[in-house]
Amino acid sequence: MLNSSLVMEENIGFASLVLPSLALQGAFERISRIPVSACWEISDWNDGTGGHEDYTDFTDAGD
């Protein structure tokens, strides 16, 4: 299974991966723009004041 630790440990620059799919390349380019501050782990359950920047629009609200 490819998971987060595998990719990060191998230091793959995923945003610049040459993939045989424009759809995937576009997705990974968008994902690469997610601020690191928006990444979290389960230990980060917080009081609602954590970093939650959006990288495209407001559709992360679910509605």
Partner 1 sequence: MGFQVKIVGDFCNIRCAYCRNRDFDRTDKAVMSVETLEKFIAFLNTVPQPEVRASWHGGEPLLAGKDFFKHIVRIEKEYPEKIWRNAVQTNATLIDEGWAKFFVENNFHIGVSIDGNERVHNIDRINSAGRGTYKNAMRGVNILRKNGIHPGVICTVTKKTVNYAEEIFLGLVNSGFKSISFNVFYNTASENREDEYALTENEWFNFLKEVFELWYTLNDSTIRVRELDAILAWTVGRSSNECSFRGSCSQWFAVDYTGDIYPCERFGRSVHFGSIQTLENYQNLVASSNLLNWRNEIRILPNKCKSCKFLSLCYNGCCSHRRADSEGIPMYTYCESRIELFDYIQRKINPLIIGDKNVK
11 binds partner 1 (CB under 8 A): no
43 binds partner 1 (CB under 8 A): no
Which of 29, 24, 32 lies closest to 8, judged by CA?
Answer: 32
39 binds partner 1 (CB under 8 A): yes
In the complex, minimum distance from the CB of residue 30 to partner 1, in angstroms, rounded to a whole number: 6
23 binds partner 1 (CB under 8 A): yes
16 binds partner 1 (CB under 8 A): no
